[in-house]
Structure formats: C-alpha cells, structure tokens
Structure 1
Amino acid sequence: MRGGQAEGSANVALPERDASPWRQLAVRLGAAAGILVGAALLVYFDRSAYTDTSDGSVSLVDAFYYTTVTLSTTGYGDIAPIETHARLINAFIITPARIAFLVLLIGTTLEVLAAQGREQFRIARWRKNMANHVVVIGYGTKGRSAVETLINNGQERERVVVVDPSQDALVDAHADQLAVITGDATRRDVLRRAGVSSADQVIITTDRDDTNVLATLTVRQINPDVFIVAAVREDENGKLMRQSGANSVITSADAVGRLLGLSSVSPSLGEVMEDLLSYGSGLEVAERELLVSEVGQPPQSLSDQVIAIVRDEKVYRYFDPVVGVLARGDRLIVVRPAEEMPWAPRPGTHNEDLAAEDRG
C-alpha cells in the first residue's frame, strides 16, 4: 500500500455539465429556512392574535415552535390563532408556505437521489464507451501541457482520462472538462478504473521518477500493447524507464537544461527551439501522412521542411540514402507554419489523396 491509499479508494469523477446538486441542495435548504423564519416572524409580530395553552402568551421561541410544527403538518394544537385575521393569515399565507416548504424538502431529496442516479448512469455509460483513449497519469504542469497539445492536435476531450490523487488536480482537470480518476496510479485497481486495459496511449508524468517507473511497470502488466510515453526528471533514470516498458522517454530536466544552454550560446537558436515546442503560432513540428502527389519525390523537394521519414516503424533522417525517394506508406516529420499556408496544405484539407489510401 502506497501513500495511505486504501483498497478501492479510486473514484471516478466526470466533469459537471450543470450546477452541482449539492449547490442546488444548499439553495433549496436556504429557501426552506427563509420560509420558516418569515412565517415565524409573521406569527411573532401578530402574537396577540394567538394563545398558548401553557401560559397564554406567545414568545419568539413559541413563534418558531408554532411555525415549525405547523409547516411540518404536525400541529400539536397547544398554540392556536384566536383572532379572525390570524386564522385568515394561516389559511392564505401559512398554508401555502407549508406546501412550498414540503415541496422544497421533498423535491430536494428527490433531486439529490435523481442526480446521484444520473451520475451513476453517466459513469456506467462512460465506462462502456471508453476505449482507444489516452490516460494521463499526473496532472501537473507537464500533464496539462501534454493534454493541451493532444487536444490542439485533434484529440477529443471525452477520450482523455486523468489519474491523479490530488484534489487540486481534480479541480484543474474538471475545469478543463476532463474525466478524473482520483487515486494512486501505481495501484492496479486505480489503473483498471481508468480503462488502461483498453487505452491506446498512456502518458506518465508525475513529479517522482520512482513513481513513474512503478506506474509504467503496472501499466505494462495490465496492457502489454499500449504505447507508453513517460517523463523522468533525471537522465540517469531514462534507461530504467525504458526497461520498465516505456516506448518513449522524455527527460524533462535534461531537455530544459539543453534549451537553457542553447539560449545562452545562441539566443536566436533558443528562440526558434521554443517556437517549435509551442503550439498555435510561428513554426510547429508535426507528423503527417504522405500524399499521392509526393510519392517518388526526394524529401527535400516538398513544400514542408521534412526533417525525418517514418518507414516500417523506423525513423530515418531526411538525408539518409535509404529514404532518398519517398514511397507509399511513408510518414513525414515536418517543420511548417503553425497556421496553414496555401503552399503547405495539411493532408486532406484540399481534397488531396493520401498515399496510404492506395497502399497495396
């Protein structure tokens, strides 16, 4: 057991679509209390029109007591209106207030039960439909940046699941409209709740290398085929992370250090590297499919700046003679403007034929 997490402690929390039922409960209880106080004050200010069988007079406490038993339909009869106008007030004001009071209490109970039932139904439907999704373990700065990049590149928010034990992460992920599993990602039951067994990718980015390694081992045991991208803070842990089953390992401290060094040696080069790592403006690095019109051409002749070619799941640099001529099934790693330019269209945006569609 790690971090004091008890067995089965992971909770599924989907982002709220409407106002929280507990907020609605507070509002309704506040309205019910307002009715109670208003009716009690009405009786107290007109206390001379009422009689108390115990002492004949009605105090403020007696007014609240009378209002409470009246609104709850208990009606002991020890305090009663004796004047005609007081009886009319009870008939036309207190009685409607009693109905409203009961409706509020009963309606609130039904609403809370219905909200719980709807939430359970949403979670059951989410579990049924969740497959081929992305699980993000750790929703700190790196995790949020990874999710933002995924969504900017077309990933649906509904197909991203966050796993993190922190309540702060729960709030942040819900603000980003993401489903959250609250729990320790090194535990098998927590990862199963996140649907790791049917996930396409898992991104592991907690703040501790030992936690990342253990999470990677557990994920790999549950799903031998899932693609795992993991972060490590120290470069010396990268090899261990790969041995644990990660397909791709990013050394955060080393990468930041290299960027700092480049910026120190050449501020312009550092600026360009930061631009490449940013999304939405300037330059971007992207992977795309080969177009039919590009088959048979050298990588250097394309409008996109090709820096690598993926062929048969192996990455080649653009100058490698093995990929001197592009072939069907190749994928391109390119540098291009973040905003689409007429001379550098994104695949499929101008009805181009993809080379992969004619493969075979």
Structure 2
Amino acid sequence: MVQIAPPPRHHNRDAFRQNYSWLQRLKANAYDVETTVAFIMLFIVLAINVVYLLQSQHGSIDLPALGTGLVQQLSLQGLTNAADTTGRVVTIINALFYILFAQTVLQNIQVFADRKPATRQLGLASTMRDHVVVCGLGRVGYRIVSRLAASGYRVVVIEQNFSGAFVNRTIEHGIPVIEGDAREESTLNKALITRARAVIACIDGDLTNLEIVLAAKRLNPAVQVILRAFNEDFDSGFERSFGAHTAFSASKLAAPTFAGAALVRNIEHVVTLGDELLGVAQVKLTSEMNAQTMEQSNGVRILPGAHGDTLAVIAPLATLADLNVRAGGEAVTGDGSIIVCGLGKVGYRVVQLLREIYPDRPIVVIHLPEGNPAEPDDAPHSHGEVDEQVGRSFIKMIAGLRNVRLIPGDARDRDLLLRAGVERASALLALTSNDQINVQVGLEARNIRTDIHVVLRVFSGDLAEKLGELFKIRTVFSTSDLASPTMAAAAILGGIDGAFAVGDDLYAINNVTITAQSPLINATVEALRRRDLLVVRVGRGNQVHLLPALTMGLVPGDVVTVIAPLRALDRLRAEGGRAA
C-alpha cells in the first residue's frame, strides 16, 4: 500500500547563491576606474623609485640588486636620505602618492563591505556571459531569479526602484542588480545584453515589457525573449511576433494547480495536457512495495531523479484522489460543490477551468459587489475605474456559465459563507489578491466546518509553508511560486509548454514530434526514462496514450509530451529532438 504524503517543506527559498571565480572577482573589483588607475600608478611609481635607487646607489641594474632596491623602496629607505635634487623630488612625489593611494584603498574596502554601490554591481555584471537578464524584481521576478540561480544558471537583474523589498536580498546572494530603466539601451548594455542568452521582462505593465524586449532585440537579435503578459489579446499578439511560448500570464500558469487542489488533497502542482489534468504529488512507499510495483499497480509515473521512500510522482487527478482514499488518507468530503472566493483573473480562470473539466459540479462564486474595485491580482497597478470594468466583465462572463451561482459580498462574513453552502461544500478556494483576507476566509470556513477542504492563495511562499504548519492547511499556494518555474525554464530552453519545481529540481514540459530523422525513433518509453526523459503522453493519429506503457516504441508522426530536468531536455535538443 502507498499513501499520498503531505507536500514536504520546500527548500529554503533564500538558499541560492551565485558564485564567482577569483578571476571574475578581480575583474569586478577592477571595474572601478579610480581603483584601476591607482594600482597602475602604484606600479609606475614603484618602478621609477627602484630604478632611481639602483642607479644612484649601485650605478647599474641587476637581479641581486633588484630585490634590495624593492625592499628599500617599500620602506622608503634611500629616498628619505636622498641628497640630490632628483631624490628629493621623488621623495615628495612618493609621500603625496601614498596618501592618495591609501585613501583609494580605504574607499575600496568600504565598497567591498557594502555590496550595494552601483560600481560594485556593474563590476559583477561585467563578468557575465551566457546569462539571463531579469527585468523587474517584484515577487515573480525574485522567484525567477532564485529558480535560475538555484539551478546553476547565471543571472543579472535590472530594477528601477533600488529601495525595493527584494533588492538587498538579491545582492546578498551574489546576484548583481543594475539600477535603471530596462527600456533604455544604456541600461541593458550595463547588464551585458549583447552576451546574454535570454531576457525576461516581468515589470507590471504589458507596454513596458514590450518596450524592454524590443530594445533587447535591437541590441542582441539572437537573445531569447520572455515576457510576463497581463492581457490575453496582447499575449497572443506578442507570440505571433516572437514565437510560441514567449509570453506568459502568471494567473494562467497558476490556475490549473488551484483548480486541481480543490479536488485532491496534498498535491504540489497540476500539469495541463490537452483536456486532461495531471497532478504532481509525493507518494510514500511501504516496506512491502518497491517503486516498480507501485507504478504498475497504481497507474502513476515516478519523476526522473526521484529516490528514497518518498517519491515525486505524476498521475491523473482522479488516480491520485482514488489512491489517497484507498490508502486511508483524507478524502475530499461534501456534496461535490465548490465555493470560490474572489473574482480577479486567478478566480475567473479557476472557475472557467473547473467548469470545463467538471461540467456538472455546482460552483458558488463570492465576489465584490459591482461598483467596488475588482481585485487587480494579475494586472498592473491601475485606477479603480479600470478595475471596476474588469470586474464587471468577469461577472458577466461567469454569469453565463452553467451551474454557477454568483453571490456579491465579503467572503469573510459568516452568514454569507453559510448562504453559499459552506456546511455541505466539498471545497472552498480563497483566491483574492489580499493574503490577510484569504487567511481570514479560510479560518472562518474552518470555524464553521472543521473538515472542509480549504485552498488558499497567498503571495508569499514562506507564508504558505507557515499556514500549512500552523493550521494544517496543506493546499496553500503562491502565484509567483507556481508561475516562476515556467518563465525561468522558457528563458533557458525556449519553446517549452510549461515547467514546475519539486524541491530544488526544475522540470520542463515539452512536446516533441518524432520524424524519420529523430534520434528518438524506435526508442521505447522505458529507454527514454533511463535518460531522465519521462514520456507522459503520446499522440498517434487520432489516438492519445496517457502515461503510455513502458514497452511502447515511438514511430514517425508521434507527438510526444516529455517531462524532464532542464539539462536532460537540453541534451535531447542537442541531439536533434526538437520541440513540436
């Protein structure tokens, strides 16, 4: 028997660090022109002094006398006692120079101790090559940076607000942060955009992000561009110009996991494959069962790199829910109805997705009354009038869906929750853009009914973990945590369909078309898994094979969905296994 285990406590989100060789550090410190000039002048002055001492005292320059002369120079012997005019002049120059040099050294010691000065950051950035430039250091930007650095990729950040919450934290981890407007070519040049492999524009605003990638493309036409998009029409228009899978919406990336978490306890991530949702969860083996028999008897697949008694697996949501119940775990109870609190972009997408997958489940949506600003959760900061228009638009679209009931009001209100049916509902999702409100809604629902399945959206990943520990709410997710893996992986590989993280491991999802020249032709699913390439779906003609048999061989025309660590997928592409 196996059991779905609660998601483990994630790795320390601040444990990443970008390291430098001694040569890179030397180059970074030499970036300051004043320091470089000071050391060049020191060498020149030392050379002049040694030559003078050797000529005046020995009448010639030879190797044995060179060491003696250098020692005398460093101790100022021979110069302080100089009787000729040249010696006196050299002594005065030395005294003045050493005062100036000492001042420069002290300044550099201060700069080294305080890593924030612009020259220090520019110096570190100047050592970069084949790196990713991340523009914007908000929550999503910071999570992208941490994902990339933790996976061993080089990063440079551009941030206009140098007093932002994540600037100091990023610098402390060795990531250079360039202060400036990323739309300006001079700022991009400071981040060495011409030597970068990719640029990610994740500022709060579609037009700003577009300006950034256009400027980056002018300076480096080969650079991979990734953009965080807020407007769906803008998203599709951008991809028509720059290629598929280059623009991503954080709410769109996060919505499947929130929807899946409403149906299955203890899942970590949800992957969308066509009309099917696959869940990623931790499965704990018992002493009577090994990994192979666990896969065969439960209809799951172990992710590449998973090992130990608790393994990360992927399977259809219904399979994971059934597995949890058979193992004696907590099931989602109630009458099957789902309450969704909050109708911003995340809430709207979750309702839409739930309705598509489970058309007969009753859904109750608690939203702010019309006339109040809508929740701008995945939109740039805007005025209330714009938010109201967005809110009215969502209300109108949701109202047209079958078996969906809308209730205006504050979801923290006990009477309102009772009117929404919290006493009999299977799950409650608190998806507003306010962490405090979401926590209050979840706790009030638990006060009414202790066994109701609660899913919370929070912005802070650390808060998500603490809530899980304190209130035993295991399905708490941060939108930035859910969205950042895809944007990070897209910058490294390009053309991916999605990505997710399990602990420190970053997995990419990619569709590959098998051609007559493909290196994967005739390879079995099992053979690919030995190369850390997990085949989760094979489209062959009009048939779709989900989690295909390990003995299945690939033939020309197959469209294969692969989940793999980034470097394994990169190796596949290098061999000629291109994306579909």
The TM-score with structure 1 as length reference comes to 0.50
Q: Which has the higher helix share?
A: 1
The TM-score with structure 2 as length reference comes to 0.33
